[in-house]
């Protein structure tokens, strides 16, 4: 596996990997350093499951609506998205460049009786190995890689024809700096200082352009909006000012 990592790691940013490995033990603590993701996760799952169901004509009322679908969760971390996808019946491969995340993910999945294939690898290595998937989840990762276009191109290579790519990230503007960095890292202290680099944030139009350059066809984008009064997240058709998500199809 180490040689596989070395063979195709052009988009890996070692400094970014180190940040998340340092927090690995707290992935499943809802009040720990990943509290923002735990709070956002129900909203993310609503969008993800709706998009998969629509694209593959699945009924979410069924016990295992994603049975028969092969899904990659790239940058899986501790498995916050891999596990609910597995519970819905998908065959899940969780991949992460931060090796320290994977023992936490594997243990939590085992405790929950879930069979998830967690791998210390990259999108490029998986693509070079000829792996293909019906769905690629690329959530809160693209702002941490060294070359977003190369990374998205690798994700496109991983998709079967007609496959679905879901990508969420953070907009780049004064509001996102105030909320995602000053608010989350300095005021609320939800994340360690330095977790995000504002200069790596990507605007929705920039991401759409990158997705097209990578060979994908963007079909939808929505905002994830935090309400500090209700202390909850919701999906918005219009407000993509901070957190947002895109859906794209492979040719």
Establish whether 117 is an annotated binding residue: no
Alpha carbon 245 to its chain's center: 10
Contacts of 248 (CB under 8 A, 6+ apart): 164, 165, 166, 167, 211, 216, 217, 218, 219
CA distance 170 to 241: 8
* E-only strand ranges, the chain: 70-74, 91-96, 117-120, 133-139, 159-170, 217-227, 232-236, 243-249
Establish whether 87 is an annotated binding residue: no
CA distance 175 to 108: 35
Number of residues assigned to the chain: 251
CA distance 7 to 48: 31
Contacts of 113 (CB under 8 A, 6+ apart): none
Question: Cβ–Cβ contacts within 10 Å for residue 28, how many?
Answer: 18
Q: Is the dihedral of CA 243, 244, 245, 251 positive or negative?
A: negative
Establish whether 61 is an annotated binding residue: no
Establish whether 106 is an annotated binding residue: no
Binding residues: 44, 75, 96, 139
Binding residues for S-adenosyl-L-methionine: 44, 75, 96, 139
């Amino acid at each position: 596996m180490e040689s596989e990592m070395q063979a195709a790691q052009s988009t890996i940013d070692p400094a970014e990997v180190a940040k998340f490995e340092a927090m690995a033990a707290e992935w499943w603590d809802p009040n720990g350093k990943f509290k923002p993701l735990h709070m956002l996760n129900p909203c993310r799952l609503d969008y993800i499951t709706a998009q998969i169901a629509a694209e593959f004509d699945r009924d979410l009322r069924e016990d295992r609506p994603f049975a028969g679908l092969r899904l990659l969760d790239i940058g899986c971390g501790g498995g916050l998205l891999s596990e609910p996808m597995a519970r819905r019946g998908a065959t899940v491969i969780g991949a992460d460049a931060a090796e320290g995340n994977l023992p936490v993910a594997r243990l939590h999945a085992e405790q929950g009786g879930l069979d998830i294939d967690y791998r210390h690898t990259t999108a490029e290595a998986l693509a070079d190995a000829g792996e293909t998937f019906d769905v690629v989840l690329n959530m809160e990762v693209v702002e941490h890689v060294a070359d977003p276009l190369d990374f998205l191109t690798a994700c496109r290579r991983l998709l079967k024809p007609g496959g679905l790519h879901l990508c969420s990230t953070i907009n780049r503007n004064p509001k996102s700096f105030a909320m995602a960095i000053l608010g989350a890292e300095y005021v609320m202290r939800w994340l360690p200082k330095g977790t995000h680099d504002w200069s790596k944030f990507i605007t929705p139009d920039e991401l759409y352009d990158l997705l097209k350059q990578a060979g994908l066809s963007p079909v939808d984008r929505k905002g994830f909006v935090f309400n500090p009064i209700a202390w909850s997240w919701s999906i918005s058709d219009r407000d993509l000012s901070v957190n947002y998500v895109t859906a794209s199809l492979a040719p």
